[in-house]
């Protein structure tokens, strides 16, 4: 029996049944991201043992720590006790929704602006992005002033850098709390039209949905909206595969650091990785000791798989935050930016057209000149970039520290201000 199981597992994705499609989930704090994903798992996942396991854990937390039942669905995707107690997403993570026909992998990222680098990372490795906007946020257009605009533009530019048509799914959440939600549903569409028009996003494909979820008890959950249509459209997502000759494993997380086991979790963007294979990483040449797909040990992972890799020597630093670490890379302290696109005027136009006040609390504009700074995401870290020379839209910048930049991989250069709000984009 054990031998039979091992043989099945050697078949890798065939053992799991289907190809994986990765969905990046973005939205501001309290926009209902985790609750929505948790509901989709609760309603449509065929892996009921996972739901049962997380339910038993949550029942214990309700009894011992007085966690409200309203957090039940969010708990299905949370990975730490601290998250459950504080009732908020603090650690980005991937969770699988397995249906009879497909595997959807949802990447849930915290809504705070400090998680902008994680949105950048997950935009690279995902196939599409799902944005959640609470109906209460639309009333005052609060979502525009927070992280939505930065995350929306970041996801768009990243998709374009891989020559993919940007396809986004926008969900108006918490509609069960607003009798006139239809009015705000139309307002959301109008707001997004203003954004796409001012930024020249003529090719973006947008799908809109509504969602209302009320948790009376673990066994009594009421819902309204377009959840089934949302799931069907997500299942139709076209996979984002990079046409590369080398192997690029895009790492999102350092898994299990608390167990002193360094497991890199992410998506294999191109190539194939086998157990016992030697792979060039920024930590030197390391041999693959173990491969796993959502807890299933396998001997090989293929292009498109979302997987975990453990190396023979656990030399990965504990504060590693993700990025492309396998394949050809070079170290550099200086970048030559051959084209910089300043989007600050476009963002001002959006804010003005929507009738919002421009305050430093919500957006700090940057004056580009020699000696000034802006920021970008390289290898999962926020990097300060100092402008050395400036000629029209061509920069030479110094990085604050060494980072790996990958050859033959499209650069998704997004520029941010000090508050992690998007201000532009660049090409190296």
Query: Average of pLDDT values for 36-64?
Result: 90
Distances (CA, A) of 308 to 89, 146, 323, 412: 21, 33, 14, 24
Query: Average of pLDDT values for 169-173?
Result: 98
Structure-token pair, residue 370: 């020699």
Query: Average of pLDDT values for 177-184?
Result: 96
What is the per-residue pLDDT across 302-357, written as a single tens digit (0 to 9) for each? 888 899 999 988 777 777 777 776 665 455 677 788 788 888 899 889 989 998 87
Q: Which residues contact 122 (CB under 8 A, 6 or more apart)?
A: 24, 26, 92, 107, 109, 252
The domains spanning 20-235 and 248-324 adopt the same CATH topology? no
Name the class of domain 20-235: alpha beta
What is the per-residue pLDDT across 87-122, written as a single tens digit (0 to 9) for each? 566 566 788 898 887 889 998 887 777 777 778 778
pLDDT at 12 (0 to 100):
37
For the ranges 178-187, 237-246, 340-349, 390-399, the lowest mean pLDDT is seen at 237-246
CATH classification of 329-427 is 1.10.760.10, yes or no?
no
Higher pLDDT pick, 4 / 357: 357
Q: Is 327 left (phi over 0), alpha (psi -120 to 50) or beta?
A: left
pLDDT at 412 (0 to 100):
60
Q: Of 271, 269, 236, which is closest to residue 412 (Cα–Cα)?
A: 269
- Assign domain 248-324 to its CATH architecture: Beta Barrel (2.40)
> Quick one: CA dihedral 172, 205, 120, 312, positive or negative?
positive
Which of 27-41, 113-127, 139-153, 355-369 has maximum average pLDDT? 27-41
Domain edges within the chain: 20-235, 248-324, 329-427
Structure-token pair, residue 63: 């009894």
pLDDT at 336 (0 to 100):
81
Query: Average of pLDDT values for 21-30?
Result: 89
């Amino acid at each position: 029996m054990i031998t039979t199981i091992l043989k099945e597992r050697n078949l890798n994705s065939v053992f799991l049944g289907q190809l994986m499609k990765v969905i990046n989930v973005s939205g501001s704090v309290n926009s209902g991201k985790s609750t929505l994903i948790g509901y989709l798992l609760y309603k449509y996942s065929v892996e009921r043992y996972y739901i049962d396991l997380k339910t038993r854990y949550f029942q214990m937390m309700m009894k011992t720590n007085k966690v409200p039942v309203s957090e039940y669905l969010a708990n299905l995707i949370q990975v730490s006790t601290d998250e459950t107690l504080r009732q908020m997403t603090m650690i980005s993570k991937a969770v699988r929704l397995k249906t009879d026909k497909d595997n959807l992998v949802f990447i849930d990222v915290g809504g705070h602006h400090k998680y902008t680098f994680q949105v950048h990372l997950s935009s690279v490795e995902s196939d599409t992005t799902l944005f959640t906007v609470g109906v209460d946020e639309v009333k005052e257009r609060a979502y525009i002033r927070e992280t939505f605009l930065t995350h929306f533009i970041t996801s768009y530019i990243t998709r374009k850098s891989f020559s993919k048509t940007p396809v986004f799914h926008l969900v108006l959440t918490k509609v069960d709390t607003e009798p006139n939600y239809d009015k705000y549903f139309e307002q959301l569409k109008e707001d997004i039209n203003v954004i796409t028009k001012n930024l020249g996003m003529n090719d973006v494909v947008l799908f809109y949905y509504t969602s209302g979820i009320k948790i009376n008890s673990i066994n009594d959950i009421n819902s309204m909206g377009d959840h089934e249509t949302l799931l069907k459209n997500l299942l139709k997502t076209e996979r984002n595969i990079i046409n590369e000759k080398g192997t690029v494993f895009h790492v999102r997380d350092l898994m299990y650091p608390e167990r002193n086991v360094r497991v890199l979790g992410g998506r294999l963007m191109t190539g194939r990785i086998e157990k016992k294979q030697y792979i060039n990483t920024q930590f030197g040449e390391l041999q693959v000791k173990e491969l796993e797909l959502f807890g299933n040990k396998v001997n090989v992972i293929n292009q498109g798989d979302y997987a975990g890799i453990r190396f023979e020597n656990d030399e990965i630093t504990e504060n590693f935050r993700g990025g492309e670490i396998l394949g050809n890379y070079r170290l550099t302290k200086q970048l030559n930016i051959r084209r910089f696109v300043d989007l600050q005027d476009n963002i001002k136009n959006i804010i003005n057209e929507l009738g919002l006040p421009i305050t430093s609390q919500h957006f700090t504009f940057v004056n580009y000149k020699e000696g000034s700074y802006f920021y970008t995401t390289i290898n999962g870290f926020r990097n300060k970039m100092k402008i050395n020379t400036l000629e029209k839209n061509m920069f030479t910048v110094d990085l604050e520290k060494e980072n790996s930049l990958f050859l033959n991989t499209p650069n998704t250069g997004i520029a941010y201000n000090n508050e992690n709000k998007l201000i532009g984009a660049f090409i190296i």
